[in-house]
């Protein structure tokens, strides 16, 4: 009997005192033990003998491990709502360190109430066990009891993001199964293998690039929009953030708010809006200019941004010609401050015909100063219409040089979707393009201006709605948004379409129809299609 039980209880069984077998079971007239009954029998025995009090709970732990070994990997499927992982077992015990005892017999359990979790992860299939923390128990309670996070937040006077974050973390841990993302591209007829299509068809994060003000301390020569617009007021801002949170919950995706401007720090209530985004479990990022250490600290006290992006347009002379005298040195000093504060830093360059030869030297200047350096090609709109974007031949030569230099400079990143034309022939191959899904205009991001106008992309006029008159979900589902998501029809037969589609803003800047005519910077050989 002990030999068959030993496979299930390899730690507990050798520690059971002989009287349990020789006397207790005999008096109970038990000849054979069902493994499911061992914890209960040990409860009775320990109660009589008052020795090795942790043994019943240790047996329960090993029995839960056995149950898990017999389980199969759960499949999330097409769930309509969050669901508790069907393999999950919650075990309440009176002794601590039982999980450690499984791996180290020298560990002595101590009397302390704990809740233990045993589950098989839905994505990896790995059997896992852990001590449950309060956040995980909260998430399970919300789902099991079908509680409304907004109502909970109101009743308990906590930010609703606390409850959203608990659920999201439980999904990440595999304790909960989540419905699939609602952000899906139509890839019908696109000539790529199905596994590649699937990877770039469904977005898990939705980004709101939020221009909360047009007030700026710079006047760049390539600025897309210098129009006068009133700052978003705080009350309206809270309503917008509530809409953003609800949209992301309804679509079952994470939410990011990239605060921009102008300079977002010049909005009188920027820190309050930043805090409000954080309190709604919306990950904040900053697209801005250098600011003082005190201004940066005021934001870090709330929470560090997932990244802080500043801009440079080349080496000092050219950059300061575009962005203003002293800007180059100010940006470099600010990057040092971001490093000191351990904030992930990004530098973005707007690529023009005039600065093609300055990108690689600038990358060397930034090598040990920034976490990520990349570029966007100029869209010749707004004040940028006075500058020139590189043509296809110039850009192809630049791409070759950029990718070669990138092998030795880890801060040089990939962003422009057209890079995939050359990357397809290299290892490890193609990447996700501009937003991780080729052109992500009105797909996994939208831009919101201070007056409520929503655009598919900030780099060119691409209005899809007004958030003061329509909800974000209706704007996203609108015919206008679908048109931008659909992109350029001339790219339809290209095998790189799911990770490219060119840049609609660049095409628009060349006075082309961005929905029909492909990006003029594209150097893909159509004969290879």
Chain position carrying tokens 């006077």: 157
Output the six-digit token pair for 163: 């409850």
Contact 308, 348 (CB under 8 A): no
Q: What is the pLDDT of residue 198?
A: 66
Question: Is there a cis peptide before residue 9, judged by omega within 30 degrees of 0?
Answer: no
The answer for residues whose C-beta is within 8 angstroms of residue 7's C-beta and 6 or more apart is none
Q: Rounded to an integer, what distance in angstroms lies between the CA atom of residue 170 and that of residue 471? A: 29
Rounded Cα distance, 364 and 405, in Å: 10
Q: Six-digit token pair at 242?
A: 């509530």
Is cis: bond before 262, omega within 30 of 0?
yes
Q: Tell me what pLDDT residue 227 has.
A: 72
Tokens 């920027």 belong to residue: 270
The answer to whether the CB of 158 falls within 8 A of the CB of 142 is no
**C-beta contacts of 13-16 below 8 A and 24+ residues apart:** 15/52, 15/55, 15/58, 16/42, 16/52, 16/55
Cα gap 372→181, rounded to integer Å: 28
Query: 314-339 in b/e burial notation, b at 16+ Cβ within 10 A?
Result: bbbebbbebbeeebbebbbebbebbe
* Amino acid 50: pLDDT: 58
| Distance between CA atoms of residues 332 and 202, nearest Å | 37
pLDDT at 52: 76
Q: What is the pLDDT of residue 201?
A: 86
pLDDT tens for 232-274 read 999 999 999 999 999 999 999 999 999 999 899 999 999 999 9
Contacts of 35 (CB under 8 A, 6+ apart): 5, 8, 9, 63, 66
7-15 contacts at long range (C-beta below 8 A, 24 or more positions apart):
8/35, 8/62, 8/63, 8/66, 9/35, 9/38, 9/59, 9/62, 9/63, 10/62, 11/58, 11/62, 11/101, 11/102, 11/105, 12/38, 12/55, 12/58, 12/59, 12/62, 15/52, 15/55, 15/58
Beta strand 372-377 pairing with 127-131? unpaired
Confidence at residue 129, expressed as pLDDT on a 0 to 100 scale: 97
Sheet order of strands, 110-120 included: 89-96, 110-120, 127-131
In order of 9, 203, 356, 384, the CA distances from 376 in angstroms are 60, 21, 12, 13
Q: How far is CA 13 from CA 49, 56, 98, in A?
A: 17, 11, 14
pLDDT score recorded for residue 97? 95
- Backbone Cα Rg of the chain: 29
Measured CA angle at 463 (ends 461, 467), to 5 deg: 135
* Cβ-proximal residues to 460 (8 Å cutoff; 6+ apart), any chain: 224, 379, 381, 504, 505, 508, 509, 514
Helix (H, G, I), strand (E, B) or coil at 39: helix
pLDDT of residue 504: 97
CA distances to 64, 94, 107, 426, 456 from 60, rounded to whole Å, are: 6, 11, 17, 53, 55
CA distance 511 to 381: 10
Angle at 207 between CA 319 and CA 250, to 5 degrees: 175
- List, for the chain, all residue ranges whose pLDDT scores fall below the cut of 70: 1, 48-51, 187-198, 225-226, 526-529
pLDDT digits (tens, 9 = 90+) for 157-200: 999 999 999 999 999 999 999 999 999 987 665 555 556 656 78
HSE toward the beta carbon, residue 144, CA cutoff 13 A: 13
């Amino acid at each position: 009997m002990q030999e068959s039980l030993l496979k299930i209880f390899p730690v507990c069984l050798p520690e059971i005192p002989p009287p349990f077998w020789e006397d207790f079971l005999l008096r109970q007239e038990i000849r054979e033990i069902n493994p499911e009954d061992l914890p209960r029998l040990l409860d009775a025995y320990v109660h009589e003998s008052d020795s090795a009090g942790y043994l019943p709970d240790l047996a329960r732990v090993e029995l839960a491990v056995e149950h898990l070994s017999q389980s199969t990997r759960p499949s999330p499927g097409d769930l309509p709502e969050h669901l508790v992982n069907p393999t999950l077992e919650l075990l309440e015990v009176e002794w601590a360190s039982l999980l450690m005892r499984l791996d180290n017999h020298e560990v002595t359990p101590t009397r302390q109430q704990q809740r233990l979790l045993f589950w098989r992860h839905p994505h990896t299939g790995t059997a896992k066990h852990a001590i449950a923390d309060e956040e995980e128990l909260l998430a399970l309670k919300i789902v099991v009891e079908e509680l409304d996070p907004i109502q909970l937040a109101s009743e308990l006077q906590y930010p609703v993001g606390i409850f959203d974050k608990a659920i999201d973390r439980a999904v990440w841990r595999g304790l909960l199964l989540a419905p699939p993302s609602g952000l899906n591209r139509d890839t019908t007829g696109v000539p790529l293998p199905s596994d590649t299509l699937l990877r770039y068809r469904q977005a898990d994060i939705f980004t709101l690039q939020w221009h909360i003000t047009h007030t700026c301390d710079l006047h760049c020569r390539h600025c897309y929009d210098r129009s006068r617009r009133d700052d978003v007021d705080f009350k309206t801002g809270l309503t917008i953030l509530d809409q953003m949170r609800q949209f992301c919950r309804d679509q079952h995706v994470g939410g990011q708010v990239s605060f921009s401007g102008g300079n977002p720090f010049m909005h009188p209530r920027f820190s309050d809006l930043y805090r409000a985004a954080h309190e709604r479990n919306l990950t904040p990022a900053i697209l801005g200019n250098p600011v003082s250490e005190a201004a940066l600290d005021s934001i870090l006290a709330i929470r560090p941004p997932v990244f802080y992006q500043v801009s440079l347009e080349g080496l000092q002379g050219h950059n300061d010609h575009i962005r203003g005298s002293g800007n180059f040195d100010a940006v470099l000093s600010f990057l040092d401050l971001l490093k000191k504060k351990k904030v992930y830093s990004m530098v973005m360059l707007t690529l023009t015909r005039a600065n093609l030869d300055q990108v690689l030297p600038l990358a060397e200047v930034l090598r040990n100063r920034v976490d990520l350096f990349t570029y966007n090609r100029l869209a010749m709109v707004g004040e940028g219409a006075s500058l020139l974007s590189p043509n296809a031949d110039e850009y192809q030569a630049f791409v070759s040089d950029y990718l070669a230099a990138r092998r030795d400079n880890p801060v040089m990143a990939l962003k422009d979707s057209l890079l995939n034309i050359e990357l397809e022939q290299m290892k490890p191959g193609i990447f996700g393009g501009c937003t991780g899904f080729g052109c992500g205009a009105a797909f996994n991001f939208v831009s919101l201006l201070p007056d409520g106008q929503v655009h598919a992309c900030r780099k060119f006029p691409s209005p899809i709605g007004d958030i003061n008159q329509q909800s974000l979900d209706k704007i996203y589902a609108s015919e206008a948004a679908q048109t931008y998501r659909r992109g350029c029809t001339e790219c339809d037969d290209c095998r790189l379409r799911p990770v490219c589609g060119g840049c609609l803003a660049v095409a628009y800047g060349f006075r082309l129809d961005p929905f029909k005519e492909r990006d003029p910077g594209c150097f893909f050989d159509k004969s290879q299609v």
